[in-house]
Homo-oligomer: A and B are copies of this chain.
Amino acid sequence: MNTKERKEKERERKQRMILDAAKNLFIREGFDNVSMRRIALAAGYSPAAIYRYFSNKREILSHLREEGFRAFHVRQKQYDQSLEPVKLLRQAGRGYLRFAMEHPDDFHLMFCTTCEEVDLEGELAAESLRVFEHFRSMVVRIVKSGYFGDVDEEAAVFGLWAGVQGLANLVTSGRMQVLSDRDVDELLESTLNFLRR
């Protein structure tokens, strides 16, 4: 029966409504300051109905985070891996910062919004791992090319990750007024220069 497909579509559409409502609220007021009752209200449901679509509040956030990681991953994958290391690094860094600027909501949910979760689970864990592995493989390739001289791979992976992460945090938290693409590029350039020499 074709009804099954349409059913599924319909279900996903309703899930989306809930996700969108939750996302709006989480971003504006923070995970802890948003109740299931308010999510339900915003999505046009009764509180109990939400539990037909998500098993609990944390799962809603997980879902949103996963979507963020997925979008981020898609973007990072598109860079040409055959580029010479310097250019690849620059492109990837720029991509990272631009993502943080263009999708501040996703970025905030992914890295800033907190909900004291013990361990990542399911699809979220898988997707964020993919992102990290992609990053790692890129850094390893650059290290092997000798760009950073003779340096421990682990240290490079971690140092760059922490650096770019913090950079993005600075940018999105508004503690640094960057608006134009040129600003981003300059910031990136000075940081890369620092890391190299």
Give chain A's interface residues, CB within 8 Å of chain B: 30-33, 114, 116, 148-152, 154-156, 158-159, 161-163, 165-167, 170, 187, 190-191, 193-195, 197
Contacts and interface: CB of A to CB of B under 8 A. Distances in A.
A27 to B, nearest CB: 13
Contacts of A191: 155, 158-159
B116 A30 contact: yes
A170 B197 CA distance: 24
A158 B167 contact: yes
A97 B135 CA distance: 25
Nearest to A192: B155
Given A116-B30, A161-B166, A162-B167, A190 B148 contact: no
Given A33-B116, A114-B116, A195-B195, A158 B166 contact: yes
Contacts of A194: 148, 151-152, 155-156, 159
Contact of A149 (B33, B170, B197): B197
Contacts of A161: 166
A159 B163 contact: yes
A159 B162 CA distance: 8
Given A152-B190, A166-B165, A159 B195 contact: yes
Considering residues A33, A116, A161, which has the most beta carbons from chain B within 10 angstroms of its beta carbon? A116
Given A158-B170, A159-B191, A162-B165, 15 more contacts: A31-B116, A32-B32, A148-B197, A151-B190, A151-B193, A151-B194, A152-B193, A152-B194, A155-B193, A155-B194, A158-B167, A159-B163, A161-B166, A162-B163, A162-B167
